[in-house]
């Protein structure tokens, strides 16, 4: 995405007339790629969580003290302590995972040279209960954010898929959304965006777009799997 282009979630929520007061992102990567960058630049209160020290430094340099940001330089996990992460290009994931975008889509093989250790926190130690827009992209550990979350955001964007990859906790994520009163609004190439039921009307056009994108994602996954089979690749 061009750096000047507004993020899809910002554009779609603006069209619906939704304006958050506290936005949060778990798994920022580089600051200019932040899924909530447009809200940050509006001066909306922001919580950012990023585990990779290189990206933490970039975030601090990029935003400086210009915006009301609280940055947590930790990994979010199911328990607190220290956690070993793997870095593969733009993907940083917990080494204990057997499924992540890098492992599934890129056939990445874990290497000791790519390992590093960071502090890990449960999300309830970072969440004050006021988040109303949350974006989660932590390469397979998204469920641990929802599992321990205090807030009940109006909007939640969570990485659930991409090419061959399906989030290893997709069943837990889907069930949590149902149990907590959320409905699926739309999908893009990697994320599913949920809204709290009744936040705004999901139109017939929204539902048609969702069905089309789900079909398109399934078709792309099918083609990728056929290609792998023809080339003798094992996923």
6-9-14-19 Cα dihedral, nearest 10 degrees? -110
Inform me whether the pLDDT recorded for 118 exceeds 80. Answer: yes
CB 188 within 8 A of CB 213: yes
Residue of 52, 46, 44 whose CA lies nearest to 73: 52
Q: What is the pLDDT of residue 195?
A: 98
Inform me whether the pLDDT recorded for 3 exceeds 70. Answer: no
Inform me whether the pLDDT recorded for 5 exceeds 60. Answer: no
Read off the DSSP letter of residue 17: T
Q: What is the pLDDT of residue 1?
A: 36
Q: Write down all domains in the chain, each with its CATH number in brackets.
A: 8-230 (3.40.50.150)
For residue 31 the two structure tokens come to: 């600051």
Cα angle at 169 between 163 and 172, to 5 degrees?
130
How much of the chain exceeds pLDDT 90, in percent? 88
Q: Residue 107 — pLDDT band, cuts 50, 70, 90? A: confident
Helix (H), strand (E) at residue 26: strand 22-26
CA distance 23 to 16: 17
**Over the stretch 32-67, which tens digit does the pLDDT of each residue have?**
999 999 999 999 999 999 999 999 999 999 999 999
**Over the stretch 125-152, which tens digit does the pLDDT of each residue have?**
999 999 999 999 999 999 999 999 999 9
**Over the stretch 156-201, which tens digit does the pLDDT of each residue have?**
999 999 989 999 999 999 999 999 999 999 999 999 999 999 999 9
CB 134 within 8 A of CB 151: yes
Helix (H), strand (E) at residue 13: helix 8-16
Q: What is the pLDDT of residue 233?
A: 62
Q: Residue 2 — pLDDT band, cuts 50, 70, 90? A: very low
Inform me whether the pLDDT recorded for 234 exceeds 60. Answer: no
CA distance 36 to 63: 13
| Most confident among 28-42, 103-117, 216-230 (mean pLDDT) | 28-42
Q: What is the pLDDT of residue 183?
A: 98
């Amino acid at each position: 995405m061009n750096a000047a282009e507004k993020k899809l979630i910002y554009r779609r929520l603006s069209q619906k007339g939704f304006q958050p007061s506290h936005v949060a992102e778990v798994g920022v990567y580089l600051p200019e790629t932040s899924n909530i960058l447009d809200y940050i630049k509006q001066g909306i209160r922001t919580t950012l969580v990023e585990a990779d020290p290189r990206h933490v430094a970039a975030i601090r340099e990029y935003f400086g003290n210009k915006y009301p940001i609280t940055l947590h330089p930790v990994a979010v996990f199911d328990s607190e302590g220290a956690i070993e992460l793997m870095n593969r290009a733009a993907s940083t994931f917990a080494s204990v995972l057997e499924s992540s975008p890098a492992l599934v889509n890129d056939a990445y093989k874990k290497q000791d040279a790519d390992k590093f250790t960071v502090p890990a926190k449960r999300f309830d130690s970072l969440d004050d209960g006021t988040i109303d827009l949350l974006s989660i992209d932590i390469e397979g550990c998204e469920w641990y954010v929802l599992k321990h979350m205090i807030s009940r955001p109006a909007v939640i964007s969570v990485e659930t898929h991409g090419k061959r990859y399906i989030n290893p906790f997709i069943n837990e994520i889907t069930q949590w959304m149902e149990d907590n009163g959320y409905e699926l609004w739309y999908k893009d190439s990697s994320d599913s965006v949920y809204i709290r039921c009744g936040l705004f009307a999901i139109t017939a056009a929204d539902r048609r777009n969702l069905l089309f994108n789900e079909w398109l994602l399934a078709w792309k996954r099918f083609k990728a799997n056929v290609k792998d089979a023809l080339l003798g690749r094992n996923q």
